[in-house]
Structure 1
Amino acid sequence: MQTVAAALDRLGELAASPTVARLASAFEAAGHELALVGGPVRDAFLGRPVNDLDFTTDATPDQILAIVKPIAEAHWDIGRAFGTIGAKIAGETVEITTYRADAYDGDSRKPEVVFGTSLEDDLTRRDFTVNALALRLPGLALVDPSGGIEDLIGTTLRTPAAPEQSFGDDPLRMLRAARFSAQLGFHVEDATRDAMTTLAAEIDRISAERVRDELSKLLLTDSPGGGIRLLVESGLAARVLPEVPALQLERDEHHRHKDVYEHSLTVLEQAIAYEKSRGVLDSPDLVMRLAALLHDIGKPATRRLEPGGAVSFYHHDVVGAKLARKRLRALRFDNDTVAAVARLIELHLRFFGYTDGAWTDSAVRRYVRDAGDQLERLHILARADVTTRNRRKADQLAFAYDDLEQRIAVLAEEEELAAVRPELDGAEIMRILDVKPGPVVGEAYRFLLELRLDEGPIGPDAATERLRAWWAQRESSPSG
């Protein structure tokens, strides 16, 4: 947290930038108010980078367009129905929104858009006091009607109005509380937290797309664990991502087992660390983080209490992949994300067989083939899934995975492992066997692929010879 004087100096520098200065001058000349609002002002006080420039004004969307058109390199009105006009000015992207005073009607999944006339009223309708800050332009007057500066100093999340009213106006704000608590490292004050618990069912009024976007933003923070805990403790997770609180399996004094919920949060934390340290994936990586959080959600459905105090979760990888696919589709995630997360969950246990005995080159090839373009994420998930406190066991697993990655690297260099395919294509198969397109070509292709995986590259001539031998045997067999 910077001092108020240092933050104001930083805001002054921002206001003097070509983009902000040009906008402020244009709105003043048109006789309209303009203020830098929300995140940029908050982040100036927190010493965080200011990435987005958001403004608010008393001008209507039509008036905003009329003001920005002469000074913008480009402009767009995709958010016009909600009072927002976007523009590119002096090389920077900005959003300018008419003062708002909207609310939910109690049943709708979308807010009724109502434009306001006062900056102070607009700010007191916002989600949290730390976001209800504005800098009037061009005069550089700080506006803080709800005590946001004090809450920044106290690292507190609190709603400007009564939390029941604020969350009633937009229940998505309850998810935003979890996200901001993780993103900023702030604590949610008691009355706000209590209202989240009391009003958790109101989140059902929010569209799946908006819930998805907010959950994604939470997972993409540097340390999402605290926000996830808040969602679970408030009861919100039970309504938007019920598979996570379900990981809090009932304890049995005779069947002790690892706390699956805590384990999953630890895996998420460790996956984020690997994601950053390995530097291969773009970070933050949403697919990686979803897979880490959800990798064990099949355990509650597959939990079995075995004789002698053991607990088993047979096939929880397959069950978990199905559950993840169903949940992510319900949240309207795109098909590629759904498929990638489900595949990672399905494969996350595969590595643990590596320590039971030496894998053949064929097994390593199949591991790479099955992972496909998710291999790097699978590397991270498998490593992050080791949360044992037994140092010897943890080191053994780490060394084993180091060895596996080294073998993959060697085979990849020798065999172009990332593009494993038969050494004869479909056209060549039809020519060699003198057959027409049909199921038999696919059968021959699969035979050659298995041969490639088992033995590595053997060359087109040897592959042709093996194909003919396979074909002869197939034709001579009773079922051929």
Structure 2
Amino acid sequence: MLIDKEKALARLIDLCEDPLLIKIRRALGPEAKLHLVGGSTRDILCGNESVDLDLATSLKPSDLIQKLCAAELRFVETAIERGIVLIPGHPKIEITSFREPSGTNNPAFSDSVTSDLKGRDFTINAIAFSIDDKILLDPLHGIMDLELNVLRCVGSPFDRFNEDPLRILRMLRFGPAQDRSIHTDTREAALALREELRKVSIERIHDEFEKIIMSKNPANALRCGFDLRIIDVILPELTPMRDFEQNRFHFEDVLAHTLTVVSRCPKDKIVRLAALFHDAGKPLTLSVDEDGDRHFYQHEKLSEKIARSVLERLRFSKEDIDGVTTLVAQHMRSIDCGPSGARRIMRDTREHYDAWRQLKIADCPPVEKEAVFRERLRRFDELIATEKERLQGNGIDQLVINGDDLLALGFKEGEELGQCLMTLRDMIVEDPILNSRERLLLEASKILSDSKK
């Protein structure tokens, strides 16, 4: 990658005119020695827009807070013990006091931006832009590493990872997830210190893992995570997939196939997470028949349980878990179905149907030619469109009668009534013509009568 320094410098100078940044500069004064650092400078050097801004200052945390309060600027103390405050707005601006590199998680504060840069995680994140002097500072050759497309720790990788083990996951996000290679020393330190990730809070693991999933190349990052045994620490439920042979319908082992599916997914969190977990249950459901053929019957059910367990542990939202587990549980549903099968798929995937379809495309049969699969998908899409048009906005299993009607027939509230409603819903999904009040009450009467025999 060739860095256009002049263009990047011009953009950084433009950023200094951001209204909120101007207010902060006035509030803190020239003694603050404000610098744009981290992702702000890295992204702009790479030709990307920086969504949020990272500032570093020579002010100690107490002085920083005092000046912000005096200027009546609203801020949040996100980690004040480490000298970090967040100023909400558009863009969001995080301000951090200069720190000395220390090899521990309790660094001393510093007056020097150069000392601060020497304690940052990676050289590509250790490039600063002086807001006062309008110059780039790159004492650790981060621009060169951007151009070489390599990720390396600043100074000793062991010190950097010991300071904050989460940096091992950040290594995956800034390295292979962005198609950068990882410097040998950095890889070796990550491999040696991977168990330190157990000391990191679940919330921080969740946030970094989600960023990896939503990155440019999550499959590449995950592959590196498996190679360096990092996944063994944060997602041990997935390690059995490594080198696990499949069957004649696959060319790749379970892990390689999983990463292929992840790489084929759109940039959608639910679809990518479902792709990661969709075959996690295969190693534990293997059976071999008398002809030596390998089968994984009902693996989607176990995969769903694994996905739910992991995502709950990582404290994903209920909505995320519902979406991912729905896709995983239903990923084996065939697109070679009739009208009733199409209706059942729409019923069972609910609002996640579009995401389910994206997963089916990403998980298309490896032994099938792309053109053949696309033709099958086209026929299925036509079938779905026909069913949606016929339903005209009505629910697929929306009955024209309700529980009150069943109570009037003589049903009692509870499991008996619920089971009857479920049976009637299945009946109209199979044949929508049966969804008439007369027919449903007749069928319900038969069910009630049979229950009393």
Same fold (TM over 0.5): yes
Q: Does 1:58 align with 2:58?
A: yes
- The residue aligned with 2:28 is 27
Report the alpha carbon displacement of residue 323 of structure 1 after superposing the two structures with TM: 1.4
Q: 1:426 to 1:255 in 2, by over 3 A?
A: closer
Q: Secondary structure at the match of 2:265?
A: helix
2:356 paired residue among 350, 375, 378: 378
Alignment of 1:267-278 (within 5 A): 267-272=261-266
Alignment of 1:60-79 (within 5 A): 60-69=60-69, 74-79=74-79
1:425 paired residue among 377, 390, 402: 402
Q: 1:244 to 1:434 in 2, by over 3 A?
A: closer
Equivalent residue letter for 1:289:
R
Report the alpha carbon displacement of residue 205 of structure 1 after superposing the two structures with TM: 1.7
- The residue aligned with 1:366 is 344
Report the alpha carbon displacement of residue 411 of structure 1 after superposing the two structures with TM: 1.4
Q: 1:443 to 1:225 in 2, by over 3 A?
A: closer
Q: Does 1:414 align with 2:387?
A: no
Q: Does 1:237 align with 2:231?
A: yes
Alignment of 1:84-123 (within 5 A): 84-88=84-88, 91-101=90-100, 111-112=105-106, 114-123=108-117
Q: Secondary structure at the match of 1:441?
A: helix
Q: Does 1:8 align with 2:9?
A: yes
Q: Structure 2 length as normaliser, TM-score? A: 0.90
Q: 1:396 to 1:17 in 2, by over 3 A?
A: same
Contact 1:423 1:457 in 2 (8 A): no
Q: 1:3 to 1:420 in 2, by over 3 A?
A: same
Q: 1:341 to 1:114 in 2, by over 3 A?
A: farther
Supply the distance in 2 between the matched residues of 1:455 and 1:252 (Cα, whole angstroms).
38
Supply the distance in 2 between the matched residues of 1:419 and 1:69 (Cα, whole angstroms).
57
Q: Does 1:454 align with 2:426?
A: no
Supply the distance in 2 between the matched residues of 1:167 and 1:337 (Cα, whole angstroms).
30
Q: Bigger CA drift: 122-131 or 75-84?
A: 75-84
Q: 1:377 to 1:132 in 2, by over 3 A?
A: same
Q: Secondary structure at the match of 1:121?
A: helix
Contact 2:33 2:57 in 1 (8 A): yes
Report the alpha carbon displacement of residue 429 of structure 1 after superposing the two structures with TM: 3.1
Report the alpha carbon displacement of residue 338 of structure 1 after superposing the two structures with TM: 2.1
Equivalent residue letter for 2:281:
G
Contact 2:278 2:331 in 1 (8 A): yes
Q: Which runs of 5+ in 2 are unaligned?
A: none
Report the alpha carbon displacement of residue 230 of structure 1 after superposing the two structures with TM: 1.1
Q: Secondary structure at the match of 1:317?
A: helix
Q: Which runs of 5+ in 1 are unaligned?
A: 106-110, 273-283
Q: Secondary structure at the match of 1:333?
A: coil
Q: 1:340 to 1:251 in 2, by over 3 A?
A: closer
Count how many residue pairs are aligned between Structure 1 and Structure 2: 451
Identity %: 28
Report the alpha carbon displacement of residue 366 of structure 1 after superposing the two structures with TM: 1.3
Q: Secondary structure at the match of 2:7?
A: helix
- Tell me the C-alpha RMSD between the 2 structures: 2.7
Q: Structure 1 length as normaliser, TM-score? A: 0.86
Equivalent residue letter for 2:342:
V
Supply the distance in 2 between the matched residues of 1:475 and 1:287 (Cα, whole angstroms).
42
- The residue aligned with 1:350 is 333
